[in-house]
């Protein structure tokens, strides 16, 4: 197993499946009688350059469930690469805590932290990817269907960091991935090339569409995300004109498989990328998915920090 958790693309299919199985075991164990304090005496330092609800609380509670502690470090306390160099921050924190989670704007910042840190570094989100979210997504899909291989996952919206990690984990684990997005909002070519490499082993199919109605035909999972991510606020008005045809609504849902489930990494802008009827309807798994961040990340911190 790797020292750090920076991208699902860094891990083999077997390693990812082992982490998912561990998450399922930890979740089952927690609801039966609680998890043993396997991380007692361990502290996770949590660097936040971006605000968060799910990432902060889920990592904090993951450490508590396993007997450890989490330390919140705000942007005011650390200006990554501004007040102090990233290399120095990594080396200082390595002497205080047993693991670092960083939620940053620039992906290079989390890579730099990992390069200089003597303790494991976990990518809590960057502008390139969101690997912890992808683990929770796959956990949710597996709980719902009892399998992963051959399922059809369709992402509707911006080819953003969430889409990158979802595409990569699907390509690793044998799920078919499709995305429908407006022109000019494609997943990066580099990320797509990487995904195609993984499909040579997994036999997953990756497809790209402009028409969301075409993309959801045969979908077992429909996934959407906000049209404007943090750091893109100046593009909000422009995006609000481009993305309305990509709303996940009841009509779009009716064109997928009858048992389709709907996922969203949250926060949701209801009435934009998703309607209330869908978000709160029988196909929605938005809140089990959010809760699974806790259990997926519990597996990650245990795998990296135990011992």
The predicted-structure confidence for 263-300, as pLDDT tens digits, reads as follows 999 999 999 999 999 999 999 999 999 999 999 999 99
Share above pLDDT 90 across residues of the chain, in percent, rounded to a whole number:
91
Tell me the percentage of the chain whose pLDDT exceeds 70. 98
Task: Quote the Cα angle for 115-116-121, to 5°.
Answer: 70
Candidates 60, 265, 272, 283; catalytic one: 265
Which residue in 220, 293, 295, 297 is the catalytic one?
A: 293
Report whether pLDDT(228) > 90.
no
Average pLDDT rounded to a whole number, residues 154-178: 98
Active site residue 196: no
- pTM value is 0.97
Least confident residue range of 28-42, 77-91, 180-194: 77-91
Topology alike, domains 8-130+294-305 and 133-289: yes
Residues 178 and 1: their CA atoms lie apart, in Å, by 29
Does 170 qualify as catalytic in the annotation? no
Residue 291 has a pLDDT of 98
Q: Is 295 a catalytic residue?
A: no
Segment holding 177, helix H or strand E: strand 176-180
Which residues are registered as beta bridge partners of 261? 221
Average pLDDT along the chain: 96
130 in active site: yes
132 among known catalytic residues: no
For 133-289, CATH number out of 3.20.130.10, 3.40.50.920, 3.40.50.1370, 1.20.950.20 equals 3.40.50.1370
CATH class of 8-130+294-305: alpha beta
| 25 labelled catalytic | no
Task: Tell me 84's DSSP state.
Answer: B
- Residue 4: pLDDT over 80: yes
For the chain, which residues make up each domain, given as ranges?
A: 8-130+294-305, 133-289
């Amino acid at each position: 197993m790797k020292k750090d958790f920076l991208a699902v693309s860094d891990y083999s299919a077997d390693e990812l499946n082992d982490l998912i199985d561990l998450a399922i075991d930890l979740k089952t164990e927690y609801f039966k009688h609680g998890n043993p304090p396997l991380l007692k005496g361990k502290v996770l330092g949590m660097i936040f350059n971006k605000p968060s609800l799910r990432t902060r609380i889920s990592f904090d509670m993951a450490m508590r469930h396993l007997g450890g502690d989490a330390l919140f470090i705000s942007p005011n306390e650390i200006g990554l690469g501004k007040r102090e160099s990233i290399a120095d921050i990594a080396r200082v924190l390595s002497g205080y805590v047993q693991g670092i989670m960083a939620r940053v704007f620039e992906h290079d910042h989390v890579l730099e932290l990992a390069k200089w840190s003597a303790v494991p570094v976990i990518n809590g989100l960057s502008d390139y990817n969101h690997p912890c979210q992808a683990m929770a997504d796959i956990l949710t899909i597996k709980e719902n269907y009892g399998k992963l291989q051959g399922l059809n996952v369709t992402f509707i919206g911006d080819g953003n960091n969430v889409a990158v990690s979802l595409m990569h984990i699907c390509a690793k684990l044998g799920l078919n991935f499709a995305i429908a997005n407006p022109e000019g909002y494609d997943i990066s070519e580099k990320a797509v090339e990487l995904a195609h490499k993984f499909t040579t082993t997994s036999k997953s199919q990756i497809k790209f569409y402009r028409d969301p109605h075409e993309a959801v035909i045969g979908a077992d999972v429909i996934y959407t995300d906000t049209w404007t991510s943090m750091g893109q606020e100046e593009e909000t008005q422009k995006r609000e004109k481009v993305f309305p045809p990509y709303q996940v609504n009841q009509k779009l849902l009716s064109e997928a498989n009858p048992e389709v489930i709907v996922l969203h990494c949250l926060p949701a802008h209801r009435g934009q990328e998703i309607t209330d009827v869908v978000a709160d309807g029988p196909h929605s798994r938005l809140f089990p998915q959010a809760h699974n961040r806790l259990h997926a990340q519990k597996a990650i911190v245990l795998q990296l920090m135990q011992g």
